[in-house]
Amino acid sequence: MTPSPADNQADQPQSANDPVTPSDHNDLIAPGGKVDPDLLRAAHLQNENTDLTIEDEDGPPTVHFKLTRDLNKRLDKYLQDRISFLSRTQLQRLIREKAVTVNGKSPKASTTLRIDDEITVILPPPPTNEIPAENIPLTVLYEDNDLIVINKQDDIIVHPARGNKTGTIVNALSYHFKHNTSGSLSTVGSENARPGIVHRLDRHTTGALIAAKSDTAHWRLGQQFEIRTVDKRYLAIVEGAIEPVMDTIDLPIGKHPKFRERMAVRFDDTAKSATTVYRLREQFDGYALLELELKTGRTHQIRVHLAHLGWPIVADDIYGGSFLNENDINPDALPDHPLMLRQALHARTIAFTHPITGKHLQFIAPLPDDFRRLLKFLYQYKRINHPITPPGATIELDQLNT
């Protein structure tokens, strides 16, 4: 990545030769050293459509600056020079909410910056419009004044995208808070039609999803995703025989060179590092049940990694998985009775530290009916061994009916 400008001499114009600490998002910094709101908006919106949504991610885009001169300037004033589309009050709030670090520590707005200081900022999106509340059913696993955890259903996107402001989880949550409980989604992300959204699941992926109700909770949860302390475990039913029973998939992922709706394993500068740990939990005849642990959160990461190894997720037609009818598993069943028509991927558990109380929380999302029914057919007609529990596995298979 080509170095970008990083700091200025007091209030003088930015030098084009001042370096910036390398990062995934320093391409958000335009010539002159300022964060470009259009580039930032594009970073937030990339891949956001009904065909390509983010399966999970590490939090909002982040930029890094490293000072090459002793500026003797307050942090909030320096950031105002760099992130001009946010007011000084908004920047001070980012600092209070620990979305800004200096040399890895949480600073004050009045912190004076010196040579070699390194500043990291988690960036909210630039402004846009509000979204309407809609009466869409939700399955709530937990809710308090600061956050909500739901069991996301199939065939719903998490937040508005590409001009579509209706029919999303955000619309449903807005209605839920107004009519069923209290509070509201955090204002973080509201500028870009994604208030409260800390992480996401793909449209046809079901399971545990967190949203923040307060700004402080949002930033602190975002940091937990950023530093990989959130434990996310998925269940997937895949095609093929799995060997070895446990391994770490460490393959970079980027946009597919030909198909807009796909991602792919790539080994060039367009890709980002991606790490998935899989554990075989049950081997069936021609199929397998995997427990998956995300170490990063790239777009379609699980689906791309498994397909690359020759184990596509059942019914994930984008990455080579086959739709299943009942007679595909039980030859005596009637044909043309669908068994699984969407990718068999479910976010079963999520564990994290409560952003306000500091309490450790873990939530289990019950399996949707189609996933449960497919498993029942596999256990009845395709089972060839007993359950497997590799080291580090945490999902209790005997509780899958709950």
State the CATH class of domain 140-226.
alpha beta
CA angle, 295 as apex, 59 and 387 as ends, to 5°? 135
Predicted local distance difference test score (pLDDT) of residue 59 = 55
Q: Which letter does DSSP use for residue 349 in this model?
A: E
The yes-or-no verdict on residue 311 having pLDDT over 90 is: yes
* Distances in whole angstroms, Cα of residue 86 to Cα of each of 26, 91, 110, 367, 393: 18, 6, 17, 42, 44
pLDDT digits (tens, 9 = 90+) for 350-370: 999 999 999 999 999 999 999
Domain boundaries, the chain: 26-34+62-122, 140-226, 231-387
Sign of CA dihedral 231, 232, 234, 240: negative
Average pLDDT over residues 163-186: 81
The yes-or-no verdict on residue 154 having pLDDT over 90 is: yes
348 versus 47: the higher-pLDDT residue is 348
- β-strand partners of 329: none
* Distances in whole angstroms, Cα of residue 223 to Cα of each of 28, 61, 180, 353, 362: 19, 11, 29, 11, 18
pLDDT digits (tens, 9 = 90+) for 282-291: 999 999 999 9
Specify the 3-state DSSP secondary structure of 363: strand
Q: What is the CATH number of domain 231-387?
A: 3.30.2350.10
Predicted local distance difference test score (pLDDT) of residue 132 = 77
Average pLDDT over residues 24-48: 64
* Dist. CA 181–CA 320, nearest whole Å: 42
* Dist. CA 13–CA 184, nearest whole Å: 41
The chain-wide mean pLDDT, for the chain, equals 84
pLDDT digits (tens, 9 = 90+) for 222-250: 889 888 899 999 999 999 999 999 999 99
Residue with tokens 């959160």: 297
Neighbours of 102 (CB within 10 A): 21
List residues with catalytic annotation: 202
Burial class of residue 386 (count of CB atoms within 10 Å of its CB; 0-12, 13-18, 19+): exposed
With residue 130 as reference, give the H or E element that holds it.
Answer: none
- Banded pLDDT at 55 (limits 50, 70, 90): very low
Query: Is the fold of 140-226 the same as that of 231-387?
Result: yes
Average pLDDT over residues 262-284: 95
Length of the chain: 402
Query: Is 26-34+62-122 in CATH node 1.20.140.10?
Result: no
Specify the 3-state DSSP secondary structure of 361: strand
286: Cα within 13 Å, side-chain hemisphere? 11
Neighbours of 245 (CB within 10 A): 17
Q: pTM of the prediction?
A: 0.69
Predicted local distance difference test score (pLDDT) of residue 252 = 97
